Each structure stands twice: as C-alpha cells, then as structure tokens.
Chain A
Amino acid sequence: MSAMPVEIVRAHFDRELPRALECARTLGWEWSDDRESLTVRVGYTALDGERFILCGTFDDYKSKPPFLEFEDPDTGQLGTTHAYPKGHDSFFHSTGPCMCAPFSRKAYKNVHTGWRCEDWTTSTENNTHWAQFSTMAGMLSMIHTRLIHPAYYRGRMA
C-alpha cells in the first residue's frame, strides 16, 4: 500500500525526470520511463562493453528510496547475480544481490535491516553525504561512475 498520495509521488518523479534524461543523453544511457507506473529502465554500457540494465520503481518516492534492481540482459530475469556488476567494494553487494546504498530500497531488506528508510536523503552512512545521491540523476549517475571507472569496475558479479 502506498504511504504517499500518488500525486505527490508523481510530482517528485516529474520534477527529477528531465535532469535524469539529460544525463542519459550526455552519458549515453538507453532510457525508457513510464509515468503511470513510476518506473524507469536504464541501459548502461560498462567499461568493457558489458551491458547492464537497471529497473527502478519510484512508488512512495521520496518518502522512501526507489526499488532498484538489475535485469539480466540475456534472460530478462530480475535480481540475479549475473544481472549485477561487481565492484571494488561492497556497493554492488552479493547478498540479495543489491546495491548497498541508502538510495536503494532493496538494501534495507537484504543487508541493512537497521537502517531507516525515512533517513535516506540525509544519510551519512560510511562517511558519505548521500544527499548528493538523492535525486534520480544523482543516483543513476553514481551507478554509471561505478561502471566506467577502471578502479571501481570488476565485470559481472557472476
């Protein structure tokens, strides 16, 4: 059940969508969105040419972070280890698997059960100011960075 009126959720979604689209254009992401279902689908190309597909559901945004999940480019299955990238740290976490960050709702369920969803835009977990990754463009751009930097990217999780 939605905690926020859908009109407010949609207003947040609509306000942040244009900047995310601008990032998609400049950084070369494949992009599709659905305002009715409050979802986005982003196709990233990693440093080695591997394709990663991120599906985001923005229901209850921004009282809660979006539910972000990778889709297997070969099978279309969501949330498999093959769908996920592997990184130099625990951001792409094998438990779940999930993205281990306050902006990822799945992380609260799988890894950080002690985190409070309500704090996601002001979190300073791990000495990171997550406020700067609390917009659609901010979080999607950070994921992009993790896929294109030779110091952070290690291929597919499995």
Chain B
Amino acid sequence: METVEHSEPTHEVRPDKELSIFISSADEDQEFQFKRSTTVGEAIAVAVSTFKLDPNDAYDLTFPKKPHQKKPSEPLLPKDRTLGSFPEIKDGTQLILTARGGGV
C-alpha cells in the first residue's frame, strides 16, 4: 500500500535574502547585491548612480533575450514591484539597464 507523506505548510516569513544580480548598461557590467524586497525602481536608481548615468533620464530593466524567444523581452513593470516577486529573478540573474534618451 502506497503511503503518502504530508508536510505541514510552513507559515514562516521568508527571510529577505540578498540576491546577486548582474546588471549590464550599454557600456558596462556590474554585480549588485539587492534584497528580494528591493523594487525595480530602487534597483534602477542604484545602477544608474553606480554607472554614473544621467539621473534625469528614464531607465528600465529587462531580461536578456533567450534564444527561443521570438519577440524581445519587455521592461520589468511596474517599477514598484519587488525583484523577489519575479519568478525568473534568482541569484545570479543578468538584467539589462536600458535608457530612453530624449527626442529632440
């Protein structure tokens, strides 16, 4: 007779672990340590400051395009969403910082 083990659901709060994220701007790469609770907007602000980019421009983070993808990766939105809430973001994930620039 087959026995099935049941495990009690855990109710403990997940620790706000640090994530090691590699961010690439157009011209540089850098490894960052963020908490899972860091928002996309907060991560962008840290990266923009580290890369010494113009803080007044508009920036986004996207995933690199995977070989099987037909369309490009869209920006991570909304920017008040936490990094830890994206299932694809794990320790060691690479993200791309993109800039809008101006239309003149």
Contacts and interface: CB of A to CB of B under 8 A. Distances in A.
A130 B62 CA distance: 22
Given A91-B103, A100-B103, A141-B99, A27 B94 contact: no
Given A135-B27, A137-B27, A141-B98, A28 B103 contact: no
Nearest to B72: A148
Contacts of A17: none
Given A26-B65, A26-B94, A141-B26, A128 B72 contact: no
A49 B54 contact: no
Contact of B104 (A126, A142, A149): A126
B71 interface: yes
Contact of A128 (B27, B62, B101): B101
Interface residues of A, number: 45
A90 B62 contact: no
Interface in B10-24: 24
Most buried by B among A47, A89, A141: A141
Interface of B: 24, 26-27, 53-54, 56-57, 60, 62, 64-65, 69-75, 94, 96, 98-104
Interface of A: 19, 23, 26-28, 44-49, 87-93, 100-102, 107, 112, 125-130, 132-133, 135, 137-138, 140-142, 144-150, 152
Which 9 A-B pairs rank lowest in CB-CB distance, beginning with the nearest? A28-B65, A89-B103, A128-B102, A91-B103, A141-B26, A129-B54, A126-B102, A145-B98, A126-B104
13 contacts: A28-B65, A90-B103, A92-B103, A125-B104, A126-B104, A129-B54, A132-B27, A141-B98, A142-B26, A145-B60, A149-B75, A149-B98, A150-B74
